[in-house]
Amino acid sequence: MLRDLSALEAALADLDSKQLRRRRLTVDAFVDADSAVRVRVEGRTLLNFSSNDYLGLSRHPMLCEAMSACALSQGSGSAAAHLISGHAREHAALETEIAAFVGRERALLLSTGYMANLAAITVLASRGERLFLDRLNHASLIDAALLSGARFRRYPHGDFEALSRMLAGSATAAAVASDGVFSMDGDLAPLAQLASTCRQNRAWLIVDDAHGLGVLGAGGRGTLEHFHLNEDDVPLLVGTFGKAFGSFGAFVAGPGTLIEYLMQKARPYIYTTALPQPVAAATRAAIALALREPWRRERVSALTQRFRAGCEREGIALSASATPIQPILTGSSARAVSLQQALMGAGFLVSAIRPPTVPANTSRLRITFSASHSEQDVDALVAALAETLYRDTLSA
Ligand SMILES: *Cc1c(COP(=O)(O)O)cnc(C)c1O
């Protein structure tokens, strides 16, 4: 593109005309003392059903206290990359604790899940090698594939048989990457089948469990625990601390040799400042709470079931998700946006998800639940959805 602002203006106007322009809301404040459920936005109080704070930890006093105590004693910034002088006690302790939590030999801390995926993919799929991604994988896995220079293809969503055909009959090294829980649909990858396909074809399997960790499995250890899979089945596990753990940062975990290799080679690990120690301290508190308070996981699951039962009574169509991510498909982007606005008028914050985040013509409302919601919050949402969707069909 030439250096031409009018071309950018035209492109922005085009986004407007397609209802694809994104607009940020500014959260002015949280209303309650220790939950993020009620937010003040543009002068109104809204009930928030659009965060990934599944366990309700993002404003928990123990995380906030761990963070501030660490900041007061250790400072605000790490001032260097991990391999220079930025690696400190809280980072080391968090790596040990998250590795133990997910039952892996070793874990490596990264600044974000986005960067963790860049690190994992670029190291395990080199230029010219083969890489296979689920069609609905998170954008960071796709960007990682582009950056890696591997020859990558996307297999139809969840279709491990198609993947198996793609993998067969070539001796070139291969890697496969999948979300554990798909972030915009809430459904699970068929991980047992993916694992056996990858083992048969001697391909690396990388699972990004951003939305399963803390939420799924008998001990909250995520999608792998849900399916009873181990390090041998899924050599590399990626997770983020910004969702169920209510903090920030991310990790990759797996066999010691693989993690050591990543530490030596992964540019998104090497060439960036270590995340602040207070953030790692908050994450450690979150892991301890997730272990000590299984009721959080049980509660978010019970609220999800309550929502689904309510929607069924009201005749609201939902997809098959059993996780706290519950999409309501609207088809057009315009409809997603107008429903979102109507719900906001009624006091509810839900997100309208549009392309390119989801495929064309699959715009949706993405509703998420947190252990901090009450039963009344969920019932109020169901009632508001029923009313809003009914009015929408009348006006259509
Ligand atoms: C949110 C998300 C990421 C990115 O994690 P951050 O820590 O927010 O950068 C990666 N993968 C999936 C599936 C996600 O939903």
Domains (range + CATH), the chain: 20-49+294-395 (3.90.1150.10), 61-292 (3.40.640.10)
CA of 168 to the centre of ligand 1 (A): 30
**What is the C-alpha separation between 238 and 267, in angstroms, rounded?**
16
Ligand 1 geometric centre to CA of 88 (Å): 24
CA distance 257 to 5: 50
Q: Report the residue among 115, 138, 269 best suited for mutation to probe ligand 1: largest number of ligand atoms under 8 A from its CB.
A: 138
Which atom of ligand 1 sits closest to the CA of residue 117? 10
User: Could you tell me the distance, in angstroms and rounded to a whole number, from the CA of residue 3 to the centre of ligand 1?
Assistant: 33
pLDDT score for 318: 95
Tens-digit pLDDT string for the chain (396 aa): 788 999 999 999 999 999 899 999 999 999 999 999 999 999 999 999 999 999 999 999 999 999 999 999 999 999 999 999 999 999 999 999 999 999 999 999 999 999 999 999 999 999 999 999 999 999 999 999 999 999 999 999 999 999 999 999 777 889 999 999 999 999 999 999 999 999 999 999 999 999 999 999 999 999 999 999 999 999 999 999 999 999 999 999 999 999 999 999 999 999 999 999 999 999 999 999 999 999 999 999 999 999 999 999 999 999 999 999 999 999 899 999 999 999 999 999 999 999 999 999 999 999 999 999 999 999 999 999 999 999 988 887
Q: Are strands 250-254 and 106-110 parallel, antiparallel or unpaired?
A: antiparallel
CA of 240 to the centre of ligand 1 (A): 6
Give the integer Cα–Cα distance in Å for 126 and 22: 34
pTM for the predicted model, two decimal places: 0.96
Amino acid (1-letter code) at residue 359: P
- Using the mean position of ligand 1's atoms as its centre, give its distance from the Cα of residue 166 in Å: 27
How far does residue 117's CA lie from ligand 1's centre (Å)?
Answer: 9
Q: Residue 319 has what pLDDT? A: 92
Mutation choice for ligand 1 from 53, 98, 114, CB with most ligand atoms inside 8 A: 114
In Å, how far are 7, 222, 330, 331, 348 from 337, measured between CA atoms?
26, 32, 9, 11, 13
Atom of ligand 1 nearest to the CA of 115: 9
What residue owns the CA closest to ligand 1's atom 8?
113
Q: DSSP string spanning 329-375?
A: EEESHHHHHHHHHHHHHTTEE-EEE-TTSS-TT-EEEEEE--TT--H
Per-residue confidence (pLDDT) for residue 171, from 0 to 100: 79
Task: Give 260-313 pLDDT, tens digit per residue.
Answer: 999 999 999 999 999 999 999 999 999 999 999 999 999 999 999 999 999 999
Going from the Cα of 319 to the center of ligand 1, the distance in angstroms, rounded, reads 22
pLDDT at 140: 98
- Ligand 1 atom with the smallest distance to the CA of 114 is 9
Instruction: Read off the pLDDT of residues 106-154 as tens digits, 9 standing for 90 and up.
Output: 999 999 999 999 999 999 999 999 999 999 999 999 999 999 999 999 9
Which residues, judged by CB distance below 6 Å to any ligand atom, belong to the binding site of ligand 1? Answer: 112-114, 117, 138, 140, 179, 183, 208, 210-211, 240, 242, 250
